[in-house]
Structure 1
Amino acid sequence: MSDIEASLRYSSAPHRREAILRRIELDGYVAAADLVTELGVSPNTVRRDLRRLAGDGLVRAVRGGAAAADVGATPFTDRSVQASAAKRAVAAAAVRHVEPGTAIALDSGTTTLEIAKLLPSAADLTVITHSLPAIAVLAPRPDVTLIGVGGQYGRDTRSFGGPETLASLEHMSVRTLFLAATALDGSGVYGATPYEAETKRRLIAIARRTIVVGDARKFVLSAPIRVCGWDAADLLVTDGVPHGFEGVDVEFGSRAPV
């Protein structure tokens, strides 16, 4: 690539950040000083890019640069503030698919928590969830019939899981499931732990319609457990997908540019 081509390419912040993520994916770490040279931009620009990527949970800030993010170990409270505007936009679009007078299931996750906050009033909804934050949000609402699913409590996810959770879900049925993901790619939905993945699969099994919700960062992150393929989902609600993505029908939630 010529110097002119590189300059044109990396004058765009999204292109720079994509290049940084590719470098970290290959090497596990990148030094800020190396990025200044490779991208042909100022140290301040590199610092801004790394802060943005770290804020979105895509990398882990370390002294002198950035390293790959360990998404499975990121506490719920930290994840809840990452890409918060995108999550709210996705949640607002997802809530439009809630049908009054039906039962819905909310998977555990920071985006599904935003959905819980936005559920319409006077819709005569029954909500099934194993997410403790979602239970806390919905418990005071007299217009919602809330069914909390218990089990072994996971502090990282702030949700219940395990055999008791799976057994409780076995005899339930919902019209719509809003399914969260630790990561997404062209082949499907991924979770961080076997318990988490099994709970998601059981939720899919009891739902007549599955709507996957997740911001565009999920296509960059990785997770070890494949939950399901896109054939198990009816819709993906997100704020962006990779070029050429054809896994399932997509609806976009819009947000103000940052």
Structure 2
Amino acid sequence: MTSEGTLRYTSAPHRREAILRRVEQDGYVAAADLVTDLGVSFNTVRRDLRRLAGDGLIRAVRGGATAADATAPPFTDRSAQATGAKRAIAAAAVAHVEPGTAVALDSGTTTLEIARLLPADAGLTVITHSLPAIAVLAPRPDITLIGIGGQYGRDTRSFGGPETLAALEHLSVRTLFLAATALDGSGVYGATPYEAETKRRLISIARRTVVVADARKFALSAPIRVCGWEAAERLVTDGVPEGFAGVPVQLAP
């Protein structure tokens, strides 16, 4: 038989076409899922991913593949952009910090500004995988700091991967401040699989999620949808597109 389904499993070109479709549709595909869906071995999947990555069609990452352009802009580049807006957003966001509670800070340049502005002597516990935030908070004796490790990403200056997800699994926080690579009317987007999975795990351990992002993020794009607006309580920003109704908005002064 030479049905389309059979070709998809047995023909390398058809397998690679199927992989590309998955990456284009979802932004990321796990190697383990490809083994199951295509009915081939891990070695076959690894060869296909290496070939597609070598042709510049995808980007091979640990455990799977993502879009070829799915990389986060370097932290140093992002930290120099919209600095005034980020500080204003952070100042507005810290008003949602409740004394005596646990707070989680996602990695990012806006959440780093929040780390700098956390109120003194409020009895806070702060959980974060952001190395710059850890460095800012480590000297403060009034804060109980839980730093989450894992595989270090130099572009984002944060930790990610299975070790990070495992460390977060049994934690709980009152408020999560969630960063974003891009935003649109349907939700929050991330640049890499590690980043997106870490954000989702943070959302799962938080009683409420506050998205913090400057208005430029509505003009940017990223390949992986982290969550819809139903996962967030509010968005703190300096501006939104006309007609935006995804979630209650707090505009920073």
Q: TM-score, normalised by structure 1?
A: 0.71
Give the Å deviation of 1:71: 8.6
Residue 96 of structure 1 aligns to a residue whose secondary structure is: helix
Runs (5+) with no aligned partner, structure 2: 1-68
In 1, distance between residues paired with 2:99 and 2:197? 28
Residue 196 of structure 2 aligns to a residue whose secondary structure is: helix
1:140 — aligned with what? 139
In 2, distance between residues paired with 1:182 and 1:76? 12
Give the Å deviation of 1:72: 3.4
Residue 71 of structure 2 aligns to a residue whose secondary structure is: helix
* Range with bigger deviation, 71-80 or 192-201: 71-80
In 1, distance between residues paired with 2:202 and 2:194? 12
2:80 — aligned with what? 81
In 2, distance between residues paired with 1:73 and 1:177? 21
1:240-255 to 2 correspondence within 5 Å? 240-254=239-253
In 1, distance between residues paired with 2:176 and 2:72? 25
Paired residues in the alignment total: 185
2:204 — aligned with what? 205
In 2, distance between residues paired with 1:71 and 1:152? 18
Amino acid at match of 2:178: L
Query: Where do 4+ consecutive residues of structure 1 move more than 6 Å?
Result: none
Change (3 A) 1:92 1:85: same
Runs (5+) with no aligned partner, structure 1: 1-69
In 2, distance between residues paired with 1:171 and 1:91? 27
In 2, distance between residues paired with 1:181 and 1:158? 15
Are 1:184 and 2:162 matched, yes or no?
Answer: no
2:103 — aligned with what? 104
1:164 — aligned with what? 163
Residue 216 of structure 2 aligns to a residue whose secondary structure is: helix
Give the Å deviation of 1:78: 1.1
In 2, distance between residues paired with 1:71 and 1:115? 26
In 1, distance between residues paired with 2:72 and 2:189? 15
1:202-238 CA deviation, whole Å, 9 max, x = no partner?
A: 0000000000000000000100000000000001000
Percent sequence identity over matched residues?
A: 83
1:58-97 to 2 correspondence within 5 Å? 72-97=71-96
In 2, distance between residues paired with 1:224 and 1:74? 13
Residue 113 of structure 1 aligns to a residue whose secondary structure is: helix
Is contact 1:71-1:182 (8 Å) kept?
A: no
Residue 210 of structure 1 aligns to a residue whose secondary structure is: strand
Change (3 A) 1:181 1:152: same
Is contact 2:70-2:223 (8 Å) kept?
A: no
Amino acid at match of 2:110: T
In 1, distance between residues paired with 2:215 and 2:71? 17
1:216 — aligned with what? 215
Is contact 2:72-2:192 (8 Å) kept?
A: no
Amino acid at match of 1:212: V
In 1, distance between residues paired with 2:203 and 2:115? 18
In 1, distance between residues paired with 2:95 and 2:156? 26
Give the Å deviation of 1:74: 2.0
Amino acid at match of 1:180: A
In 1, distance between residues paired with 2:111 and 2:82? 14
1:125-164 CA deviation, whole Å, 9 max, x = no partner?
A: 0000000000000000000000000000000000000000
Change (3 A) 1:174 1:73: closer
Give the Å deviation of 1:73: 4.3
Is contact 2:190-2:196 (8 Å) kept?
A: yes
Is contact 1:182-1:192 (8 Å) kept?
A: yes
1:150 — aligned with what? 149
Is contact 2:180-2:213 (8 Å) kept?
A: yes
